[in-house]
Structure 1
Amino acid sequence: MTKNIEVQASAAAAEYRYARGWHCIGEADDYRDGKPHTLNIFGTRLVAFANDEGSISVLDAYCPHMGADLSQGEVVDGRIVCPFHHWEFEASGRCAKIPYCDRIPPKAKTKSWLTKEVNKLLFIWHNPEGNPPAEGVEIPYLPEIDSDEWNDSWNIDLMHIDTNPRELVDNLSDIIHFGPVHGTPCTYFANTFEGHIGTQEFHGDSGRLGGNLVAKSAYYGPATHFTRMSAEYDGKTVETILLNSHVPTSPNSFELRFGVLVKKDPTLTDEQNNELAKEYVQANRTSFYQDVDIWKHKARIDNPVLAEGDGPIYQLREWYSQFFMDESDIPAKLKERQVIVTMEKQEA
């Protein structure tokens, strides 16, 4: 009986459709260490590696020869070398050398995944249909990442969370949780959905992150979320950019990367700015982990019973659903601009 349940679960996982879109797999420089990196994502195993020029490639990890795990091999002259029989695969996924054979079989190749570096981060493209990104579907460049006025590190935390990624995405429209979970009452809240981009604008006050807090955030596809935030903190205006990006590992688990960039205060020394950045990054982490604690214990509710003021949960989920269907099946209305203001600004 137990074996049958395991087989059924395995079959269900194999049929699960992962979202179409760009997914962040970390800071690009972390892959430039001359070693292969194992990626257990999208219900399979991939290998990432860089050549001598620093160009990063991602391939299906299982060797087409006898199924060995390429991520357990080594990188030699910009190629990934299989640990089992030492077949060598180049960035395109083509086998370029078999040490004991001059003729390389035409089918000796593994899948190469489309990747892109933006904002010092490495992204991988996933599409069950096998198509490249449609025009305009991209991760925006943030000029702050190359500015001397900002700290030069994302200060990323990596977490593994055992739940469906939709629980995370729901936060984009869940206005009510800011008070009970974060102690941050809201004074203005609005969402915009248009094509592959979903946005949130939040105004409020936070005992942890500062007063007069204004956060403008956007999902660029199903999995990559940036927030520009400013607040009055310890007598100063602090500006930050938050990274909140996930990549699914199974139908009900994902890797989550949470990072923070902090703008330097020109009135402070470098040492003081570093201390302020560390303090504010930690405050953001503490706030975000309050959500993580909720996700660890909650159940997935596909048809929640909502009350007035809950925010556009159903509209968000309809927008999110487009990433799990063929592009030709996306309803035309999801490409149109929809603005939903849940809480209006109050006159002083």
Structure 2
Amino acid sequence: MPTRFARGWHCLGLEKKYRDGKPHTVNAFGKKLVVFSDSKGDLKILDAYCRHMGGDLSQGEVKGDEIACPFHDWRWGGDGRCKQIPYARRVPLRARTQAWPAMCQDGMLFVWNDPEGNPPIAEQAIPRIDGGPDTEGWTDWAWYETRVDTNCREIIDNLVDMAHFFYVHHAFPTYFKNTFEGHTAAQIQRGVSREDLRPAEKAIGGPKRTGNTSIATYHGPSFMIDDLIYHYESLDDVRTVLINCHYPIDENSFMLMYGISLQRPEVADDEDPEVLAQKMVQTTRIGFEQDVAIWRNKTRIDNPLLCEEDGPVYQLRRWYDQFYTDVADLEPEMTDRFEFELDTTKPVEAWQREIEVNLARRAAALESQDA
């Protein structure tokens, strides 16, 4: 694995978290950063340790447009320049620290990382979300954050993993395709729910899902937008946006975040659409946490032994390599368009037989109890 961190935009969470007038600590890219809001409300990101004598700026105080070091009160602006030293006649010309490019979009704060020190690349811009909290009739972000102690590549592999849907998420794809091109990598799938297992819906008390249609796309190395349509037995289709994003803490851990927003469903007059929407959100959360449990406990396999139905794991990893490679050294196979449509015939046949066996066993057990 490379010893550098990926080039690209990384989400640091919801921007409102950082707009309380206080400095915030973010451990990312093997460093400690400080995030603060200036008097105009613009969010700024700097290296957290003061270049003077090493004080921790994230433990300091926001004073006007600057962050003040708690050690000697050196005042640092969002551009990385020291603006004033209250006890000094002048500020040294070389009094600068690293300022990180920041961007706010769709209610989230992003930071740009580039090991070569270059500014953001226009082609790697994060697109605006179609739907979500800024759209009328949609719920606010349900946002969750958790630390995972493994290399962040492990979460990327999920994009091509068709088989885990049956064993982890209690559903299975009837159609599954991947496309990689430029800085984007997508998973297109249509799936149906398992009739023999519905623990999430039963736990939450939400409506019965029959399946889903999903287009999940990574935009750069760490930010995925999943445009989901859930199909229900007793409701019209419901659109959901699932954000799956992370930033590396160091080489062996990352901060995983995911956000859920959905279009409020049409319900009968005696039902509360907000209550039903929150049940749907919680069902989606349970599904995502099933992945998290796997990531927390698996190990990294650099040269996995694969069968044909495991999909283009190595091609995905080659696409992912581009973010750890100097721009001048990029190779066409990292960014050229690649498509792979997986033949789901064999797995679907096997899984349907397994479901039938499970249902038959359940029916026999019920008959035995009645007898």
Same fold (TM over 0.5): yes
Q: In the alignment, which residue of structure 1 is the partner of 2:135? A: 147
332-341 or 297-306, larger mean C-alpha shift: 332-341
Partner of 2:42: 55
Q: CA deviation at 1:333?
A: 2.8
Please state if 1:304 is matched with 2:291: no
**Cα offset for 1:259?**
0.8
Deviation at 1:266, TM superposition (A): 4.5
8 Å contact kept, 1:89–1:96: yes
Q: Is the 8 A contact 1:190 1:343 kept in 2?
A: no
Deviation at 1:150?
Answer: 1.1
Distance 2:268 2:104 in 1: 32
Distance 1:38 1:238, change over 3 A: same
Secondary structure of the residue that 1:22 maps to in structure 2? Answer: strand
Q: Deviations over 1:8-53 (max 9, x none)?
A: xxxx9xx820111110001111111000000111010000000122
Does residue 109 in structure 1 map to residue 96 in structure 2?
yes
* Aligned match for 1:192, one of 160, 163, 179: 179
1:52-87 deviations in Å (ceiling 9; x for gaps)? 221100000110000011000010112100000001
Partner residue, 1:211: 210
State the distance in 1 between where 2:283 and 2:28 align.
29
Q: Aligned pair 1:88/2:87, yes or no? A: no
In structure 2, what is the Cα distance between the partners aligned to 1:82 and 1:271?
A: 54
After superposition, give the CA deviation of every residue in 1:206-240 in whole Å (9 maximum; x if it has no partner). 34572231010100011000101011235122210
Length-normalised TM-score, structure 1: 0.91
In the alignment, the residues of structure 2 paired with residue 160 and residue 58 of structure 1 have an alpha-carbon distance, to the nearest angstrom, of 21
CA distance in 2, matches of 1:332, 1:312: 17
Distance in 2 between the 1:88 and 1:150 partners?
42
Corresponding residue of 1:171: 158
**Amino acid corresponding to residue 311 of structure 2 in structure 1:** G
Q: State the structure with more CA Rg.
A: 2
2:240 corresponding residue in structure 1? 240
Q: State the secondary structure of the residue aligned to 1:80.
A: strand
Question: Counterpart in 1 of 2:226?
Answer: 227
1:266-299: per-residue Cα shift (whole Å, max 9, x none)?
4467982221221111111111111111112211
Residue 268 and residue 217 in structure 1: after superposition, are their counterparts in 2 closer, same or farther (change >3 A)? farther
Mark the runs of 5 or more structure 1 residues left unpaired by the alignment. 1-11
Equivalent residues of 2:173, 2:344 under 8 A apart: no
Task: Give structure 2 stretches of 5+ with no counterpart.
Answer: 202-208, 349-371
CA pair 59-211 structure 1, distance change in 2 beyond 3 A: same
Give 1:315-330 correspondences, 5 Å limit.
315-330=315-330
- Once residues 72 and 265 of structure 1 are traced to their aligned partners in structure 2, the CA distance between those partners, rounded to angstroms, is 44
Alignment of 1:322-341 (within 5 A): 322-341=322-341
SS in structure 2 of the partner of residue 314 of structure 1: helix
Q: Distance in 1 between matches of 2:31 and 2:88?
A: 29
Contact 1:188 1:203 in 2 (8 A): yes
The letter for the 2-side match of 1:150 is W
Letter in 2 for 1:258: Y
2:185 and 2:335 map into 1 onto residues whose CA distance is 11
Query: Out of 15, 22, 30, which is 1:43 matched to?
Result: 30
Q: Which secondary structure state, in structure 2, belongs to the residue aligned with residue 52 of structure 1? A: coil
Q: Which amino acid aligns with 2:332?
A: A
For 1:264 and 1:294, the matched residues in 2 are separated by 30
Larger deviation, residues 66-75 vs 135-144? 135-144
| Contact 1:176–1:311 (8 Å) recurs in 2 | no
Contact conserved, 2:214 with 2:226, CA < 8 A, in 1?
Answer: yes
Residue 308 of structure 2 aligns to which amino acid in structure 1? E
Question: Percent identity among equivalent residues?
Answer: 43
For residues 281-338 of structure 1, the C-alpha deviation after alignment (integer angstroms, 9 at most, x for no partner) is 1111111111111112211100001012111111111111111110111112332211
Q: What is the distance in 1 between the residues matched to 2:270 and 2:28?
A: 39
Aligned residues: 332
Specify the alignment match of 1:70 in structure 2: 57
